[in-house]
Chain A
Amino acid sequence: MPTNKLDQLYRSVIMDHYKSPRNKGVLKDNNVTVDMNNPTCGDVIHLTLQVEDGIVKDAKFEGEGCSISMASASMMTQIIKNKDIDTAVHYAHLFSDMMLGKEIDDSIDLGDIEALSGVAKFPARIKCATLGWKAMEKGLGSDSDN
Chain B
Amino acid sequence: MLSKEIRKDFPILDQEINGYPLVYLDSAATSQKPRQVIEAITNYYKYDNSNVHRGVHTLGNRATEGYEGAREKVRKFINAKSTQEVIFMRGATTALNTVAQGYGRQNVEEGDEIVITHMEHHSNIIPWQQLAKEKGAILKYVDLEEDGTLSLDKVRETVTDRTKIVSIMYVSNVLGTMNPIKEITEIAHAHGAIMVVDGAQAAPHLKIDVQKLDCDFLAFSGHKMCGPTGIGVLYGKKDLLNKMEPVEFGGEMIDFVGLYESTWKELPWKFEGGTPIIAGAIGLGAAIDYLEQIGLDEIEKHEHELAGYAMDRMSSIEGLTIYGPKDPGKRAGLVTFNLDNVHPHDVATVLDMNGIAVRAGHHCAQPLMKWLDVSATARASFYLYNTEEDVDRLVEGLRIAKEYFE
The residue that A1 contacts in the complex, of B354, B360, B405, with Cβ under 8 A, is B354
The answer to whether B376 touches A42, judged by C-beta atoms less than 8 angstroms apart, is yes
Residues of A with C-beta under 8 A to B349:
6, 9, 122, 124-125
A76 contacts chain B at the CB level, 8 A cutoff: no
The answer to whether A43 touches B375, judged by C-beta atoms less than 8 angstroms apart, is yes
The answer to whether A41 touches B405, judged by C-beta atoms less than 8 angstroms apart, is no
The answer to whether B353 touches A2, judged by C-beta atoms less than 8 angstroms apart, is yes
The answer to whether A125 touches B400, judged by C-beta atoms less than 8 angstroms apart, is no
Shortest A44–chain B CB gap in Å is 7
B367 contacts chain A at the CB level, 8 A cutoff: no
Chain A 35-50 against B: per-residue CB contact (8 Å), 1 yes, 0 no? 0000011111000000
Q: Nearest B residue to A7 by beta-carbon distance?
A: B404
The answer to whether A42 touches B353, judged by C-beta atoms less than 8 angstroms apart, is no
The answer to whether B350 touches A42, judged by C-beta atoms less than 8 angstroms apart, is no
The answer to whether A5 touches B361, judged by C-beta atoms less than 8 angstroms apart, is no
* Residues of B participating in the A interface, judged by any CB pair closer than 8 Å: 18-19, 343-346, 349-350, 353-354, 360-362, 366, 369, 375-376, 400, 404-405
Q: With A41-B376, A125-B349 as given contacts, are A1 and B362 in contact (CB-CB < 8 Å)?
A: no
The answer to whether A65 touches B343, judged by C-beta atoms less than 8 angstroms apart, is yes
Q: With A5-B18, A42-B361 as given contacts, are A65 and B375 in contact (CB-CB < 8 Å)?
A: yes
A67 contacts chain B at the CB level, 8 A cutoff: yes
A128 contacts chain B at the CB level, 8 A cutoff: yes
Instruction: Report 15 cross-chain contacts, Cβ distance below 8 Å, ordered by A residue.
Output: A2-B353, A5-B353, A10-B346, A10-B404, A41-B376, A42-B366, A42-B376, A44-B375, A65-B345, A66-B343, A67-B345, A67-B346, A122-B349, A124-B349, A125-B345
Question: Could you tell me the distance between the alpha carbons of A120 and B100 in the complex, rounded to whole angstroms?
Answer: 42
A88 contacts chain B at the CB level, 8 A cutoff: no
Question: Could you tell me the distance between the alpha carbons of A1 and B404 in the complex, rounded to whole angstroms?
Answer: 11
Question: Could you tell me the distance between the alpha carbons of A42 and B365 in the complex, rounded to whole angstroms?
Answer: 10
Residues of A with C-beta under 8 A to B375:
42-44, 64-65
The answer to whether B343 touches A2, judged by C-beta atoms less than 8 angstroms apart, is no
Question: Could you tell me the distance between the alpha carbons of A34 and B59 in the complex, rounded to whole angstroms?
Answer: 59
The residue that A42 contacts in the complex, of B18, B346, B369, B404, with Cβ under 8 A, is B369
A-B contacts, CB under 8 A, total: 52
Question: Could you tell me the distance between the alpha carbons of A124 and B357 in the complex, rounded to whole angstroms?
Answer: 13
Residues of A with C-beta under 8 A to B362:
41-42
The answer to whether B361 touches A41, judged by C-beta atoms less than 8 angstroms apart, is yes
Q: Nearest A residue to B363 by beta-carbon distance?
A: A42
Residues of B with C-beta under 8 A to A75:
none
Given contacts A6-B350, A42-B369, A64-B375, 5 further A-B contacts (CB under 8 A): A2-B18, A10-B404, A66-B345, A125-B349, A128-B345
Question: Could you tell me the distance between the alpha carbons of A41 and B364 in the complex, rounded to whole angstroms?
Answer: 9
Chain A 96-139 against B: per-residue CB contact (8 Å), 1 yes, 0 no? 00000000000000000000000000101100100000000000
Residues of B with C-beta under 8 A to A124:
349
Residues of B with C-beta under 8 A to A128:
345
Residues of B with C-beta under 8 A to A15:
405
The answer to whether A6 touches B404, judged by C-beta atoms less than 8 angstroms apart, is yes
A68 contacts chain B at the CB level, 8 A cutoff: yes
Q: Nearest A residue to B397 by beta-carbon distance?
A: A1
The answer to whether A68 touches B350, judged by C-beta atoms less than 8 angstroms apart, is no
The residue that B360 contacts in the complex, of A9, A41, A67, A68, with Cβ under 8 A, is A41
The answer to whether B376 touches A6, judged by C-beta atoms less than 8 angstroms apart, is no
Chain A 50-74 against B: per-residue CB contact (8 Å), 1 yes, 0 no? 0000000000000011111000000
Q: Nearest B residue to A44 by beta-carbon distance?
A: B375
Which 10 A-B residue pairings sit nearest by Cβ, starting from the closest?
A66-B345, A66-B343, A42-B362, A41-B361, A42-B376, A64-B375, A42-B375, A66-B346, A67-B346, A6-B353
